[in-house]
Amino acid sequence: MDIEGKRAVVLGGTSGIGLAAARQLAAAGVHVIAGGRSKQNIETAAKTAGERVTFREIDVLDRDALTALFSDVRPFDILVNAATGGERAVGPFLEMDLDGFQGSFRKLWGYANSVRLGAPEMADDGAIVLVSGFPARKCNAGASAISTVGNAVEGFVRAIAPEIAPRRINAVSPGFIDTPMLTIPAADRDELIAKATAHLPIPRAGSADEVADAILFLIRNDYVTGSVVDVEGGILRT
């Protein structure tokens, strides 16, 4: 896909990986509508995103709002969803609050909503990219909810790729990425990240831009669909 001049919707596009993808798309000449739930994130992101990015407050669990958004921007060419849908449950499964475990699937519901409602409004050669995560295939203790949701996201991509063709859908699976989702106190951040990544083949945290690079690859490459691209510094090999 020659993406210059195309139109993109980036959900979860006001911070972290989503914002990095929005900025890179805009730098490549794409007109971007970036959506997120947080007014504060929108205000912060708008200061640096550039004139090709327009921000919109939206919750991916609000189907009426998504329908209105897609109707406003149709036809569009690119859909990226990096929204988490809300909080994610962590801790030992046998001690976990089941409502918290179930609530972690808001990420999947947000992805399903965006694809179901967005794909019909896209160009026939449109490209969709979702975000999974390394726990889908390497689950550390206490990450069962995150892992299970990630598996569901990757299975969803494989399942619907044949159905929505010629539109394409893929996912990126990040490793340990230094984004605002890492809720580490600033004073301890560098030390704790260094310890957490010292054993990796690439012994550092990844950046949101490195994941966004993979997102743009999946958008541009017309011969990839139903696939998952890992950007994880080798964590799956340790």
Q: What are 177-217's pLDDT values in tens digits?
A: 988 766 666 667 788 888 889 999 999 999 999 999 999 99
Q: Region 70-93: what's the mean pLDDT?
A: 93
Full-model pTM: 0.94
Q: Region 42-68: what's the mean pLDDT?
A: 94
Average pLDDT, the chain: 94
DSSP 8-state secondary structure symbol assigned to residue 120: G
| Topology of the domain comprising 7-230 | Rossmann fold (3.40.50)
Q: How many of the other CB atoms lie within 10 Å of CB of 180?
A: 10
Q: What are 148-184's pLDDT values in tens digits?
A: 999 999 999 999 999 999 999 999 999 999 887 666 6
Q: Region 2-10: what's the mean pLDDT?
A: 97
Helix ranges, the chain (H): 16-27, 39-46, 63-73, 98-103, 106-118, 144-164, 189-197, 208-220
